[in-house]
Structure 1
Amino acid sequence: MLLDIRDLHVRYGNVEVLHQISLHVAAGEIVTLLGANGAGKSTTLLSISGLVRPSGGEIIFDGRALHELPAHQIVHAGISQAPEGRRVFGTLTVEENINLGAFITRDKEKIAQTREWIYDLFPRLAERQKQLAGTLSGGEQQMLAIGRALMSNPKLLLLDEPSLGLAPLLVRAIFDTIRTINAAGVTVVLVEQNAKAALHLAHRGYVLEVGRIILHGEAQDLLSNPQVRKAYLGGA
């Protein structure tokens, strides 16, 4: 098991926002976390990244206890995240943003190879290497956020709402690229409001409600689950 979360509790001040979350992700999987706003999906990702400290439970990644490590060491361990809202550096160029993702790597040849792979994945970024990131469209900024996260050559890529605010055609393109990234050997945990698209992409899923996992299973089973269809798929 690549990632194993056991009885995870997270508090913001006096409020507990994750209540005994347990989930696992095998190497090579795409696993999606579904739920309404405030369900605890992003907090789960932030806990894995080390940006939020658990108040209880364990996060085991590739045999290591992540909950005991600072965030920068978690990147070294093989995890990177493309955050909600993209968070690109608008006054830097596309290439400068991309290069920032390689801060743990000293091998210049490896950096160049990874950057070329990212430009192959996202040709639009290759065309705009010298353009300021703040002038990109929302879809292009999302591509850049994912590309930057890939520069550390992660074993596990965390994606938080990659389709947020994007036109359907761009959503399809982003999701196709996530599938390509996964086929290249990168395991993916995906937080996504577009439940239907996420379940068509993922192998398995977990449904969170008010900080608890209420359902989990194979993606195809969740797609046909009446509770999921009513709550997240518009009954379709």
Structure 2
Amino acid sequence: MLLNVENLRVHYGNVEALHGINLRVRQGEIVAILGANGAGKSTTLMSISGLLKPSQGRIIFEGQELHKLRAHEIVRLGIAQVPEGRRVFSTLTVQENLNLGAFTVTDEKKIQRTLDWIFDLFPRLKERKEQLAGTLSGGEQQMLAIARGLMADPKILLLDEPSLGLAPILVKSIFETIKEINESGVTVLLVEQNARAALKLAHRGYVMEVGKIVLEDSAKNLLENPEVRKAYLGG
């Protein structure tokens, strides 16, 4: 098992946001976490990447206990998060944003190989590499956010709402790219409100409701599950 989350509890002050969740991600999978706003999906990702500290439970990645490490140490182990809302550095160029993504990588040749691969995945970014990130369209900023995460050469990519606020044609393109990234060997843990698109892409999925996991199954079974269809797929 690449990633194991066991009995994870997280508090915001006195309020418990995660009530003892368990989830697993195997090497090479795309795993989707579905749920309404406030279900605890982003909190789960931020706990894995070390941005939030759990009050209880364990997060194990390749045998290492992540919950005892700081965020920058977790990035070095091979975990990169692409946050919700893109959060690119708007006053820096596309190239400078990508360079920042590679801050934990010391091998110059590896950085160049990753950059070449990213420009193959996102030709638009290559065209705009000297442009300020703040002047890019929403779709281009999402491409840049994903590309910046990939510059860290991750074993697992945590994606938080990659389709948020994008036109349907761009959503299709972003999801096709996520599939390509996965096929190149990067495991993906995906939080996504567009449940249908996420389940068509994923191998397995978890459904979260108010800080708990209420359902776990193959993506195919979740797509066909009447309760999931009614709650998240519009019937």
TM-score by length of 1: 0.99
Q: Give the aligned partner of residue 68 of structure 1.
A: 68
Q: How does 1:1-236 map to 2 (within 5 A)?
A: 1-235=1-235
Question: Which region of structure 1 is more displaced relative to structure 2, 9-18 or 99-108?
Answer: 99-108
Unaligned runs of at least 5 residues, structure 2: none
Between the aligned partners of 1:77 and 1:89, the Cα distance in structure 2 is 24
Q: Offset of 1:106 from its aligned partner?
A: 1.7
Q: Offset of 1:110 from its aligned partner?
A: 1.2
Aligned with 2:32: secondary structure?
strand
Between the aligned partners of 2:85 and 2:168, the Cα distance in structure 1 is 17
Q: Offset of 1:14 from its aligned partner?
A: 0.2
RMSD over aligned Cα, in angstroms?
0.4
Between the aligned partners of 1:196 and 1:105, the Cα distance in structure 2 is 35
Partner AA of 1:89 in structure 2: F
Q: Offset of 1:158 from its aligned partner?
A: 0.2
Aligned with 1:141: secondary structure?
helix
Between the aligned partners of 1:222 and 1:111, the Cα distance in structure 2 is 38
Partner AA of 1:158 in structure 2: L
Between the aligned partners of 2:135 and 2:56, the Cα distance in structure 1 is 42
Aligned with 1:105: secondary structure?
coil
Q: Offset of 1:29 from its aligned partner?
A: 0.1
Aligned with 1:110: secondary structure?
helix
Between the aligned partners of 2:19 and 2:184, the Cα distance in structure 1 is 34
Between the aligned partners of 1:203 and 1:164, the Cα distance in structure 2 is 21
Between the aligned partners of 2:98 and 2:218, the Cα distance in structure 1 is 34
Aligned with 1:50: secondary structure?
coil
Question: Which region of structure 1 is more displaced relative to structure 2, 95-104 or 107-116?
Answer: 107-116
Between the aligned partners of 1:7 and 1:108, the Cα distance in structure 2 is 40
Between the aligned partners of 1:185 and 1:102, the Cα distance in structure 2 is 18
Which ranges of 4 or more aligned residues in structure 1 deviate by more than 3 Å? none
Between the aligned partners of 1:23 and 1:113, the Cα distance in structure 2 is 33
Unaligned runs of at least 5 residues, structure 1: none
Aligned with 2:17: secondary structure?
strand
Between the aligned partners of 2:224 and 2:130, the Cα distance in structure 1 is 46
Q: Offset of 1:6 from its aligned partner?
A: 0.4
Q: Offset of 1:57 from its aligned partner?
A: 0.3
Work out the percentage of aligned pairs sharing the same amino acid: 70
Q: Offset of 1:200 from its aligned partner?
A: 0.1
Q: Offset of 1:105 from its aligned partner?
A: 1.2
Aligned residue pairs, count: 235
Between the aligned partners of 1:62 and 1:39, the Cα distance in structure 2 is 27
Between the aligned partners of 1:81 and 1:179, the Cα distance in structure 2 is 17
Between the aligned partners of 2:96 and 2:112, the Cα distance in structure 1 is 13
TM-score by length of 2: 0.99
Aligned with 1:220: secondary structure?
helix
